[in-house]
Structure 1
């Protein structure tokens, strides 16, 4: 490592092969690099207002750091962030702010997270390693790397001090370009503002259909890809006609339309192929129109992972499903190593990690974590977050080399207190998975409603098949709820097909995409869309 540069800056000078080799070296001794990372972060924060206030220069051990610096939340940084948005320097870290990442979080209120140049490099290194690992797990991806990357617009303008504001997914787009992966969707479409969600989905689907070479899909929530597949199904002839005439049949801004048409591949021959497939089979299935489509990178954990498993059932068995990785606007935290598994080794070089046991007890470091326990994740970053509690509940499942594999479970706010016991949404998901196994059924989507007295629970479910055995499923759900959570089942709401998608349409605001949207699991009875209720079973 170059002693004149931070650890991320030194790693950033390596080519992909050497970076990947260095990462594997870290995974063989993660606790050593964790200590080095902490003191590297403190080194590049000691001249800041925060570093001076908490005497970074005098901290000589992890214990001293934990004693000197309190655990923090976003509200603790509001005054500092306000100064940084105006362009003030040396506030949370040495020097100036490179950019801000904007997030609506789980509350819907906008949050602005500053990034130092070193912090941004650390994030992008994780994204680059994910791209490399994606190709290692699924080498077929390298045969023809045309990727459908579904993201929100990255451009949110500038702060009052002239500092760029962007979305976290926009940072990811840049790393794909660095990895020489060809992206199917033009930036002009991704960044387009004055366009409806419906028109944007149509155009995303159109560009995807136009690309015969599609190799893989990368998006956080795979439900959005499902929306694009439905767009193709519902507008097949219209889209083929657009491709045949090399045009866009939507009433959108003429200058945007002109730019997008110029980005089309050669669509005449593609339209001819699609016409022949549709004529023979009466529909356009993914395995017929994208012969090289072999890889999906998306969230596989938590309730969003259920969407991925649902869509997986409708794609070719030859498609590899890979966890795209656990992260947030504040940082990127792991690089999954295996297909169809959501846990992956924590990235020991990207942040300093601590963990607060959910069931009580002292905060522990990575070296002290235990499997089969739940923790809230606490991070210290190069971008000025110190002992910052994300209120993400995580667990650990095995190790890669000597590094624990971390998996996101749910937000700590996603809980219900029933019978004086705090229950989290991952526990309700576990009960449902047990019931699915016992009943030989699959549920595309679920939510739960606590009773007014908090002594029983109702499930809202959208079954994946029409021949759903409701009585057997209810019987097993009653049994598993009582055995695992000591709860009674109140009602079982069986919803019509399309319920989940209708909720996405309802909650996604203009200019946003489904890919970064997570539907709530714990809801009130007033939030149910009654027109989608197929049947209510009362126990």
Structure 2
């Protein structure tokens, strides 16, 4: 009886929620401007607001004229003051949390999450599930066990501000109606050794009625592989009632075939776009491509055409200005005190009614040693197409330029760890090169102009990327190995894993 009630209550809640979201989908442009002006008004008396004349900002253009695009280094002096317990610096109060993330140039980053911002982190994930339930007309998963593969929920404190990984922070806000069904246990969740943690998670879940599993694709694969190795069965054989995977953090498509193979049966997928800076988008229709941009969740968005990013005259576009199928650097102003903040992600709009996006790459993750500016979306689509034509499967890859080869012209080197190698590697290489040339005209011009030779593939041993991540202290957590680089720092370290 209780299970029947939970399932039907979820169906009713989901339907009501989806109906309520209709307003923001129709009025995104108008609501975004109103949101920005509201944020500016709230922060008028903050240090940042006084320095940037918030009191006299009455339009988006006036905001853009007064507030330059910033990265973490630009905001770091303000954040350092907040870390010392000072209020009214970036936002009216000190943050409720700092989400601690790893940075390359700045060391650890401390991203503020205000008491106004935190509910939207939770609401984004809830909304994704409610849309799924409504579209599927099925909420069976609420009666089974759910696992969230995440970082440790243990917090430290910096002048009274709770600090930890975003996934660990979110663990403290899981709704009460899901807590009973949630795994793993607290003692397992706080383990820092990721491999030992996954082993313990397996112990706690292998005999349970798992219906929902959430995590970024590399974590899912590691968990599924260990389960399969231990039991000699596909995941759907172990968990016949598994209905849903919720994932985010990286593009899911390059992992889809591998995960499908491990599952061995039909499981629905919801892709999401969360970050420490906010919950931006989710797949509101699990049967279609694209993520619904959340324009009423305390975040004002700007978009810089990728080819202009980093240039003084770069245009800062808003929703009304964007074009479909173009790549934009994502710029955020949030109700946690981030102002015109460049998060480093690149998005591509595929729909305007409502606004739906794909995450197409990172502003710092590209290959352009020869002026080609190849981005993640292009290489991931190229390898997906090549794999389909050659029935091969990959585990992971990394692309780096080889500027000074021992002989011949320079080239792109693809270091690939295959799950299943193509029958003919040379044909696969040619196909991959052709697919990339179709997607990037600059790369094609370099090949046809004999500036570059066609790409090379270097085969890596099994578990190469796992061992590399482990050797760099980047196993688990929010760590993701960049798939593209403009130098050979990662490529050279991967050399020792060559076949």
- TM, length-normalised to structure 1: 0.79
Q: Secondary structure at the match of 2:20?
A: helix
Structure 2 equivalent of residue 12 of structure 1: none
8 Å contact kept, 2:375–2:484: no
Which among 282, 286, 291 is matched to residue 344 of structure 1?
291
Does residue 200 of structure 1 match 2:149? no
Does residue 413 of structure 1 match 2:376? no
Which among 254, 258, 276 is matched to residue 310 of structure 1?
258
Cα distance between partner residues in 1 of 2:26 and 2:484: 40
- Please give the per-residue CA displacement for 1:57-87, whole angstroms capped at 9, x wherever unaligned: 2211111111222211111222211111121
1:274-423 matches, within 5 Å, as: 283-299=232-248, 302=251, 305-323=253-271, 325-339=272-286, 341=288, 343-350=290-297, 351-360=299-308, 361-399=314-352, 402-423=353-374
8 Å contact kept, 1:444–1:464: yes
Count of aligned pairs: 461
Say if 1:28 and 1:482 are closer, same or farther in 2 by CA, change over 3 A.
closer
By how many angstroms is 1:205 displaced? Answer: 1.0
Cα distance between partner residues in 2 of 1:442 and 1:382: 42
Q: Secondary structure at the match of 2:374?
A: strand
Rg larger for: 1
Structure 1 equivalent of residue 429 of structure 2: 474
Cα distance between partner residues in 2 of 1:425 and 1:335: 20
Cα distance between partner residues in 1 of 2:363 and 2:278: 18
Cα distance between partner residues in 1 of 2:105 and 2:155: 19
1:420-435 matches, within 5 Å, as: 420-435=371-386
8 Å contact kept, 1:216–1:293: yes
Cα distance between partner residues in 2 of 1:490 and 1:421: 13
Cα distance between partner residues in 1 of 2:176 and 2:340: 31
List 4+ stretches of structure 1 deviating above 6 A: none
Which among 204, 207, 226 is matched to residue 210 of structure 1?
207
By how many angstroms is 1:104 displaced? Answer: 0.7
- Any stretches of 5+ residues in structure 1 without a counterpart? 1-14, 237-282, 534-539
Which among 210, 224, 229 is matched to residue 229 of structure 1?
224
Structure 2 equivalent of residue 445 of structure 1: 396
- TM, length-normalised to structure 2: 0.85
Cα distance between partner residues in 2 of 1:223 and 1:141: 26
By how many angstroms is 1:117 displaced? Answer: 1.0
Cα distance between partner residues in 1 of 2:341 and 2:396: 32
Q: Secondary structure at the match of 2:241?
A: coil
Cα distance between partner residues in 1 of 2:95 and 2:433: 54
Q: Secondary structure at the match of 1:338?
A: coil
8 Å contact kept, 1:356–1:377: yes
8 Å contact kept, 1:451–1:490: no
Does residue 521 of structure 1 match 2:476? no
Higher relative contact order (Cα pairs below 8 Å, separated by 6+ residues): 1
Structure 2 equivalent of residue 461 of structure 1: 416
By how many angstroms is 1:228 displaced? Answer: 2.2
Does residue 502 of structure 1 match 2:479? no
8 Å contact kept, 2:249–2:273: no
Q: Secondary structure at the match of 1:522?
A: coil
8 Å contact kept, 1:216–1:295: yes
1:81-100 matches, within 5 Å, as: 81-100=79-98
Structure 2 equivalent of residue 269 of structure 1: none
- CA RMSD, 1 decimal: 2.5
Does residue 133 of structure 1 match 2:157? no
